[in-house]
Structure 1
Amino acid sequence: MQLLDELRTHRLLAIVRGPDPAAALASVLTLASCGVALIEVSLSGADALAVIRRARAALGPHFALGAGTVLTAADAHAAADAGATFLVTPALAPSVAEAGRVGLPVLVGALTPSEVVQATSAGATAVKLFPASAGGPAYLSALREPFPGTPFVPVGGVDAAGAAEYLRRGAVAVGVGSPLDRKSDGKGKRVML
């Protein structure tokens, strides 16, 4: 899988997580059926590896299905075994080096310039600017000055209006979670799709 090409082409990485594995799987399948081509299932969700396995079986071997919140070497191996085609980390973690060993591209979380340097030196396919809401689109512009060739994917607090602004300021894609995979039940309660 050419993760960077996929990010540049589709510009959206949907992030699914939650306490209900059946709802998470339904969200993945709904997003895919609506044309979302890059989906990450966060390992912080309940039974996330099973969700990845079932989604892989339903979507086929070529769908860009990733595992997020991959922190340890064991997480990287488990995600690869479950059928993930890419990994996502919230920060520099042991899983970054392990991604190369299991042969998967990795989107590495970073916020500061020092972390951006470390992420790219560690082999990041792209840098997940996280949490993007900490600095907003202006911060992405500031980072792009010393790192003009670094592909950034802002994640964390990105909504529709923010997504357009991040893309305008040079992000290769944006990662969006709860605005995509949650809706209201009409009584103010948030539920999975």
Structure 2
Amino acid sequence: MDLRAALATHRLLAIVRGTDPEAAVRTVLTLAEEGVELIEVSLTGADALSVIERARKELGPDRPLGAGTVLTADDARAARRAGANFAVTPALGDGIREAHRLGLPVLAGVMTPTEILAARPLGAAALKIFPAAEAGGPAYLKALRGPFPHELFVPVGGVDEAAARAYLDAGATAVGVGSPLVGDAADGGSQSALRTRARALLTVVRKASFAGEAS
């Protein structure tokens, strides 16, 4: 898949991490039904590889479905076998190079300018600013875009509706949203409430996309 194009088009990456595998699968499918096109299942969730495998069967072969918290080469290989077609990392490590070798585009976690420079030779397709709130929020992202105007930045960590709007206005290509979107749905909580949150967040990113195109 073309991860760079998908991030620029859809502008929202949902991050699913749950303690209940059945609920996590339902959460992925609910998000997909609501129109969230980019979904990541963190490998730190319960039975995450099985969640990816089962969700892939339900979604079909072509729908974007990522594996998150890919730390090692073994993680990358396991994610690929389970059916992930992109990988997300919290930092620079062996998982990036192996995922790239396997044909999985990588959203690589960085925080500093030095890490941004190091990410591209490893095979990163786009850059995840993590943890975004602790790094300095939208102001920090805006500052990074000065020396790195052509990089695709995706802030992750503490991103709710208001923060999503601010990051997109500051030049983020997309935003990654975990608990403010998923809530307790992947732990067995309400899928109906998840749908409500998904619709609200999609409204935010779609308005931002339209404003960007208009300018």
Q: Which amino acid aligns with 2:153?
A: F
Paired residue for 1:50? 50
Query: Secondary structure, in 3 states, of the residue corresponding to 2:65?
Result: strand
Q: Please report how far the alpha carbon of residue 191 of structure 1 lies from its aligned counterpart in structure 2 after TM superposition.
A: 3.3
Does residue 21 (structure 1) correspond to residue 18 (structure 2)? The answer is no
1:106-121 to structure 2, matched below 5 A, reads 106-121=106-121
Query: Secondary structure, in 3 states, of the residue corresponding to 1:64?
Result: coil
| Alpha carbons 2:23, 2:188 under 8 Å: kept | no
Paired residue for 1:153? 154
In 2, distance between residues paired with 1:138 and 1:122? Answer: 27
1:94-113 to structure 2, matched below 5 A, reads 94-113=94-113
| Alpha carbons 1:18, 1:45 under 8 Å: kept | yes
Query: Secondary structure, in 3 states, of the residue corresponding to 1:138?
Result: helix
Q: Which amino acid aligns with 2:132?
A: A
1:57-97 Cα distance to aligned partner (Å, 9 max, x none): 00000100000000010100000000001000000010011
In 1, distance between residues paired with 2:69 and 2:190? Answer: 19
In 1, distance between residues paired with 2:140 and 2:189? Answer: 32
Q: Where do 5+ consecutive residues of structure 1 fail to align?
A: none
Paired residue for 1:140? 141
| Alpha carbons 1:99, 1:105 under 8 Å: kept | yes
In 2, distance between residues paired with 1:120 and 1:130? Answer: 16
In 2, distance between residues paired with 1:142 and 1:178? Answer: 26
Paired residue for 1:39? 39
Q: Please report how far the alpha carbon of residue 145 of structure 1 lies from its aligned counterpart in structure 2 after TM superposition.
A: 0.7
Return closer, same or farther for 1:136/1:190 CA change in 2, 3 Å cut-off.
farther
Q: Which amino acid aligns with 1:173?
A: A
Q: Which amino acid aligns with 2:107?
A: L
Q: Which amino acid aligns with 1:40?
A: E
Return closer, same or farther for 1:49/1:192 CA change in 2, 3 Å cut-off.
farther
In 1, distance between residues paired with 2:190 and 2:49? Answer: 18
Q: Give the structure-1-normalised TM-score.
A: 0.95
Query: Secondary structure, in 3 states, of the residue corresponding to 1:77?
Result: helix
| Alpha carbons 1:181, 1:192 under 8 Å: kept | no
In 2, distance between residues paired with 1:123 and 1:170? Answer: 22
Paired residue for 1:181? 182
| Alpha carbons 1:127, 1:153 under 8 Å: kept | yes
In 2, distance between residues paired with 1:165 and 1:125? Answer: 23
Report which of the two has the higher share of helix.
2
Paired residue for 1:76? 76
How many pairs does the alignment contain?
189
Query: Secondary structure, in 3 states, of the residue corresponding to 2:19?
Result: coil
Query: Secondary structure, in 3 states, of the residue corresponding to 2:108?
Result: strand
Alignment RMSD: 1.5
Q: Please report how far the alpha carbon of residue 190 of structure 1 lies from its aligned counterpart in structure 2 after TM superposition.
A: 8.9
Does residue 191 (structure 1) correspond to residue 189 (structure 2)? The answer is yes
Structure 1 residue ranges, 4+ long, deviating more than 2 angstroms after superposition:
189-193
Q: Which structure ranks higher in relative contact order (CA pairs < 8 Å, sequence separation ≥ 6)?
A: 2
Q: Give the structure-2-normalised TM-score.
A: 0.85
